[in-house]
Each structure stands twice: as structure tokens, then as C-alpha cells.
Amino acid sequence: MSDSNKILEELTQSDYKYGFVTNIENESAPKGLSEDTVRFISAKKNEPQWLLDWRLKAFRHWLTLETPTWANVTFPAIDYQDIIYYSAPKQKVTLNSLDEIDPELRATFEKLGISLDEQKRLSGVAVDAVIDSVSITTTFKVKLSELGIIFCSMSEAVHEHPELVKKYLGTVVPITDNYFTALNSAVFSDGSFCYIPKGVRCPMELSTYFRINAANTGQFERTLLIADEGSHVSYLEGCTAPMRDENQLHAAVVELISMERAEIKYSTVQNWYPGDKNGKGGIYNFVTKRGICAGDHAKISWTQVETGSAITWKYPSVILKGDYSIGEFYSVAVTNNMQQADTGTKMIHIGKNTRSRIVSKGISAGKSQNSYRGLVEVKPRAINSRNFSQCDSLLMGDQCGAHTFPYIEVGNPSSIVEHEATTSKIGEDQVFYCNQRGIDTEKAVALIVNGYCKEVLNQLPMEFAVEAQKLLAISLEGSVG
Amino acid sequence: MLSIKNLQARVEEKEILKGINLEVKAGEVHAIMGPNGSGKSTLASILAGRETYEVTGGSITFEGKDLLELSPEDRAREGVFLAFQYPVEIPGVSTINFLKTAVNAIREYRGEEAMDAVSFLKMMKEKTKVVEIDETLLKRSLNEGFSGGEKKRNEIFQMAMLEPKLAVLDETDSGLDIDALKIVANGVNKLRSKNNAVIVVTHYQRLLDYIVPDYVHVLYNGRIVKSGTKELALELEAKGYDWIKNENTAV
Ligand SMILES: Nc1ncnc2c1ncn2[C@@H]1O[C@H](COP(=O)(O)OP(=O)(O)O)[C@@H](O)[C@H]1O
Ligand SMILES: [Mg+2]
């Protein structure tokens, strides 16, 4: 092995700083998955019959499906009977004030850098925190409700706003969409719900923070976000998990609905535990995210910074149904050590004059595998549509892999689809140039990587961008080629 | 300040430097000239700590320290600066951001506090005047899409910002038109003082009309084969490099 690869290897080995476990009392379902599990969860949440029926339908459909194998990832078969499908911190779920939160829990969030009260109030971010299966608290509810904005846990929405949930749940991502959406629909435990009424610009960032804490537990949350005509919302999602030797499954579903002239900006900083450097443990992050631009001039923009998880399988997509609607996907996916990522997007152009833009920056280090997989489909009636895709891969060292799988289908002659792809290595000469100006190799790599990802990081709301830059540096500590 | 003794170096199996001796004192400007492939850039790179070159013998002392023992970043922090013959592009990183990182890394090494944004910008404004560089250039990605002249000017700007004790300019004149050459030379002259030293590596004597050296050395085939004052550069210009080549094959 060359010297530079040795340096790279040393540099890429760093510790996951969110790997602690919180000792809180849990209430769990017994291990395993059957109709009884589904009924148990539904009963725990005191759900209406229609939702139980919906779950059971999903479960029965799931039984007929096989694990998909088309992604460029490998993992041993998952034993679905060895997972706990419901685990909730044992405290009453409806809180009258933040002061009622279990101090352990509160400390957990403080450790994660999320203050649930005063600090966040000042910085103007409304937070919904989901730990294991249950939403713990949603801040700022009163202030938001004055504008007619609903921002609450999914469980609460089922009871408080059943007409909205019933109308939209499963309309963008049908329960039959794929293996993991069927599973999620059967056993989802909580998640966030958000509705922005007509013409309202949400005055603050909305944020959900996901935390898996309990062992052997799967996390199956569901997010539903509806931006009514002419409204605007920016939504952030963050996630972490303890270090455990076993793999844990996270199979979430996110549905976005953007009506006429509405705009949704959805940002994710995904930092689930990636496993150790030998590939032991880590989260299987099998997530389905999709949005629909339902009306004319609607816009949906996905931004993701993916640094965690043992395996990431995720394609935030946009269905461009309304004429003149816009879909965007900005992604940074970092894999290190033994991590595997197969991520990208789908842009489905249905309306006329629709536009989409894809910017994907993959960074692979260690022995990891990093794939971009993207579909751009322009339907025959989507005349005058445009797509531009830029897919760049950056390699650190010579033991990792970067792959690009673009699928392009253009159904009419007036539309233009452009795809550009590059693969590069962090140059030894770039690092040396930095060294020569007094910048050590670790900082040099962080600087170069942040520069490489700039176009994507620029899309993130300010305070997330800073966070994401640090995260990139930590994820790649020591990777120089 | 700098003392190079019998320096020998190779890359892979190829011997490039075959025993270089050079003494540079504070306040001096030395020019190193020589035909292409004689080892000028190799010498500059070794001073900066590039690992591609293996030092097989000799020593380099800088301000009493064994330079070869120091990492490239520590050499920079000790005050060694190299203006690259081929400056590297770093997409997405502006010169401003790059230099801020560099300045603060150097300050940290020296036990000084990080520079705040205001003082940094103030310093930047002053230095842009010295080297007559356009501020908009400094906001763009480092060296990306820069013309040859802009890259070289940017190197000199970086030198001005980092205030090194020893600056090594590797063919900073190549690819510059006469106006750009004057600006670069003028920048270097303004930064000259009795406390710092400059080594100007050049192929042509043209630059030396503007940066007047105290000593001129001719590097040929891995050795310094002639040393003298600035008149040597003129003689070299008049007689051409064949003069050196013939003289040295004759021996
Ligand atoms: N990285 C390298 N690998 C192989 N040969 C090299 C390398 N760098 C320089 N050389 C060789 O060493 C000799 C000196 O090169 P260099 O120092 O660049 O000369 P100069 O700067 O005087 O033109 C040349 O023959 C060149 O081909
Ligand atoms: Mg050279």
C-alpha cells in the first residue's frame, strides 16, 4: 500500500460520537411480526378502524413480496421475526409542557445538540423529536397554529385531523409501492405530520429529529407533508442512533404534496450509526421518499447529506404532474469503511414545461461502495420539459468503489435531458498545495471535500449547512488520496 | 537562514539532484537559472517537502532547524513559501476561504489567536493593492478557470498574505506578458526586507531586470555549475545555455 493510502486509511478512522445509549424505560411489543403485531400497534395508538384496515391490507400485501435485490448492495437476509416493531419511552405521550419531558430524554437531546426549549426558540426552528417509535414533543405548536399551520406527530394527526390524513396518506407512495413501503405501512409507529394552509409562508424551519435508542428495534416512521396552494415551507430532518453490534432496520416513508404554486424544501442530514470499520453493526436505511407537484407551478426540492448508515437505499423522487412544476434533488452521499450506499432520485415529468435538476456528489473512502442510481422519465405529454443532471464521484484511496446508473427515458422530441458525470480522486497535489500553505492533511481534505460539495451544501438552511460541513469532515477524518 | 549542503535526491530510480550546496542569508535574493529538466523544480519541491522526491544524501537547515525533519505544513508554518510553477485548482473553495484557513493554521502553530473576519478582510484589502489583484478573482474557486497570469498573480498574493521568511518562486514569470511580469516583480520587491529572503527560479533572465538578485546560480544536470552576481545572468542570456552545456560535457 502506498504512503498516501496509508495516510488515507488512518485519516478515515474516526469514532461515531452519537453512539451512546440512553437508559429510559421502554414499553415494547413482543419480538416478531404477524397480524397480531399490527393490531397491537394500532391498538396502542388507539387508532380508528380505517387505519387498522389499511395497515392489515399493507401487511397482507407485504407477505406476498420478496426483498428487492436490484440495488448495488449486499447484506445477509433480514430475519423479520427477530425485530421489535414497537418501542416507546414509558412516559405519557401527551405533554402539557416541555418541562414534563423525562430528564433522561431531555439530556439525550441536549447531547445530540438539540435543545428542545429556549435555544431553539431563539433560533426559530420548530422541532418534532421522535425517539424509537414515538414522537416525544413538538415545539412551537401554538405559534404555528395561529397561522393555521399544523405540525404534530403522525399519531396526533390521526386523531386531530383524520380527514387530512385519510385523504393523503399513501397517495404519493402507495402501500404496494415496494417491499419496504408495504412493511412500513403495516407497522409504522409515528412520524411527523405537517399541513401548511393556502398562501401561508411558514415563518420558521420545521424540523424532525429521529433517534433510534432501544436495541433490536426497527424504526418505521412516516412523514406526511402537505403544502396547500401558494404556500411555502422548509423542512429539516436529522437522525442518529447508538452504536450496536447488530444491524438495525430503519424503513421510513416520506410523502410530500405540493399544490399549485406551493413550494416544499425538504432537507435531510442523515447520520445513523454506520457500523464499525470492519462493517459490524450499523443501520440499514431503506427509505422511500417521494413528492408530487400536484398543481401548476409547484416546486419540490430535496437536499440530502447522507453520511451514516451501514446501508443506504434511498431515492427521494418528484412526480412533476402540474404544468411548469419544478423538481430538484441535491445530494451528498459519503461512504467510508464498509458502508454501502445506493442512492439517487427519480424525476417523473408528466406536466408540460416541467423542469428538474439533479446534482449528486458521491464520496467514497475506505472499502465502501457508493452508487448513484437515477431515473429521468419524460412522458409523451410533458412537452418542452427539461432535465439537467450532474453526477460526480470522488474517490479516496483505491479500495472503494463508485458507480453511476443513470436511466433516461424521453417520450417527446421537444424535451431536453442532459446528463454529465465525472469521477475524480482527491489529488495528492491538491493536498500538498494546502500543506504548503500550512494546512494539515486532515483540514485539507475537509476543505477540498466541502468545496466539492458546495453546490449541495449551499442548498441547506444556514445552521444545517455548518452542521453538515462538520459532519463531512468527521465522516472522512483521515481520508487522503 | 537557509543552508543546503551536498543535497542529493532522486525520484523512483532516477537521480536528479547530485550534490547541491547553497547558502541564503536574510535580506538576500538568489536566482536559480538553468535549462529545462536540470532539477530546478525538484529543488523547490524538496524545500517544500514534497514526498515524491527521495532525499538520498545531504542536509537542509532552515533557521537552525533540520528542514527535512519537518512535515510540509510545519515548514510552511515556519515560514517557507513556494509559489508553484503549476498552481493547483481546488473547485468550490475560494481563495479567500483557502487563505483564511491557511492564515489561521499558521497562527495556531505559533500560538496566536485566530484572526477575526474583520481584521482578515482588512489585511486582504491592503495586500490586494500590493499585487494589484482583482478582488472578484479572490471570491472564485481557487485557480479554477484562471488564466496563466491570474494563477501566478494569485500565488504572489498568497505570498503577500502569508508573509513568509523564505519565498521560493518557481518560474513565476513563465507565461506572463510584460505588464503582468512587472506587476508580479513589483509585488515581490515590495515584500522584500532585510528579514526575509527570496529564491527566484527562472528560465529566462527577463524577470531579473525587475527583481534584481544578489546572486545568480546556474543549475545544470543536478548540480550548481556556476555562481555569480547578476552579471552572470546577462552573460547567460548572451551566450545561451549551450555555453553551460558545452562547458560541462567538456569536463
Ligand atoms: N515526478 C517525477 N517523476 C519522474 N521524473 C521526474 C519527476 N519530476 C521531475 N522529474 C525529472 O527530473 C528532471 C528534473 O526536473 P525538474 O526539476 O522539473 O526540472 P526543471 O524545473 O529544472 O525544468 C527531469 O528530467 C524530469 O523529467
Ligand atoms: Mg521547473
Tell me the pLDDT of chain B averaged across its residues: 91
E strand intervals along A117-262? 125-131, 134-138, 150-153, 192-196, 205-211, 222-227, 232-240, 247-250, 253-258
- Please state the pTM of the whole predicted model: 0.82
Q: Indicate the residue of B51, B81, B102 with minimum beta-carbon distance to A439.
A: B102
Report the pLDDT averaged over residues A161-182.
Answer: 95
Measured at the CA of A207, the angle between CA A203 and CA A208, to 5 degrees, comes to 155
User: pLDDT tier at A2 (50, 70, 90 boundaries)?
Assistant: very low
* pLDDT score for A112: 54
pLDDT at A82: 87
Question: Distance between CA atoms of A192 and A223, rounded to whole angstroms?
Answer: 5
Interchain contact, A437 vs B90, CB within 8 Å = no
Q: Which residues of A touch B73 (CB under 8 A)?
A: 435-436, 438-441
Which of B8, B38, B42, B170 for a ligand 1 pocket mutation test, highest count of atoms within 8 Å of Cβ? B42
Cβ of A438 and B90 within 8 Å?
no
A436 to chain B, any CB pair closer than 8 A? The answer is yes
Residue A180 C-alpha cell reads as: 419496504
Of B81, B88, B91, Cβ closest to residue A433 = B88
pLDDT at residue A10 above 50?
no
Subunit contact B73:A452, Cβ cutoff 8 A: no
B105 → closest Cβ in A3, A438, A455: A438
Domains of chain B, by residue range, sit at: 2-250
List pLDDT tens digits, range A71-119. 888 888 888 888 888 877 665 444 445 555 556 655 655 655 554 444 4
Report which of residues A5 and B219 the model is more confident about.
B219
**CA A356 / ligand 1 centre spacing (Å):** 48
Domain range B2-250, CATH architecture: 3-Layer(aba) Sandwich (3.40)
Residues with CB under 6 A from ligand 1: B 11, 14, 16, 34, 36-42, 52
Kindly state the average pLDDT of the residues B196-204: 91
The neighbour count for residue A67, using CB atoms within 10 Å, is 12
State whether residue A443 sits within 8 Å of chain B by CB: yes
Q: What is the pLDDT of residues A375-411, one digit of tens each?
A: 999 999 999 999 999 999 999 888 888 999 999 999 9
Whether residue B90 and residue A447 make contact (CB cut-off 8 A), yes or no, is: yes
Indicate the pLDDT class of residue A121, thresholds 50, 70 and 90.
Answer: very low
Mean pLDDT to the nearest integer, B114-124: 91
Chain B residues in contact with A439 (beta carbon < 8 A): 73, 101-102, 105
Q: Is the minimum CB–CB distance between A475 and chain B shorter than 8 Å?
A: no
Residue B37 Cα to ligand 1 midpoint, Å, equals 5
Q: Which of B7, B8, B13, B14 to mutate to test the pocket of ligand 1 (most atoms within 8 A of CB)?
A: B14
Task: Please state the domain extents for chain A.
Answer: 19-429
**Which triple of cell numbers denotes residue B88?**
493547483
- pLDDT for res A130: 64
Give CA separation, A139 vs A12, A37, A209, A332, in Å.
37, 31, 12, 29
B141 touches A at CB < 8 Å = yes
Q: Report the SS3 class of residue A296.
A: coil
C-alpha cell at A109: 437531546
* Interface residue of A434, A455, A457, A466 to substitute, partner B, most B CBs within 10 Å: A434
**Minimum CA distance residue for ligand 1 atom 26:** B37
- pLDDT tens digits for range A267-303: 988 887 788 888 888 888 999 999 999 999 999 999 9
Q: What count of residues does chain B have?
A: 251
How far apart are the C-alpha atoms of A228 and A286, rounded to whole Å?
28
Cβ–Cβ pairs < 8 A, chains A and B: 78
Q: DSSP character for A48? A: -
Q: Residue A129: pLDDT band by 50, 70, 90 thresholds?
A: low
ipTM for this model: 0.95
DSSP A432: H
CB within 8 Å: A439 and B88: no
* Model confidence at A246: pLDDT above 50: yes
Q: Identify which of B194, B204, B196 has the alpha carbon closest to the alpha carbon of residue B167.
A: B196
**pLDDT greater at residue A7 or residue B246:** B246
Q: Closest CB to B50: pick one of A3, A432, A447.
A: A432
**CA–CA gap between residue A209 and residue A271 (Å, rounded):** 11
Specify the pLDDT at position A282. Answer: 84
B80-114 pLDDT, tens per residue?
Answer: 999 999 999 999 999 999 999 999 999 999 999 99
Distance B105 CA to ligand 2 centre (A): 28
pLDDT for position A99? 54
State how beta strands A369-378 and A340-349 pair. parallel
Supply the residue whose CA is at minimum distance from atom 27 of ligand 1: B37
pLDDT over threshold 70, residue A173: yes
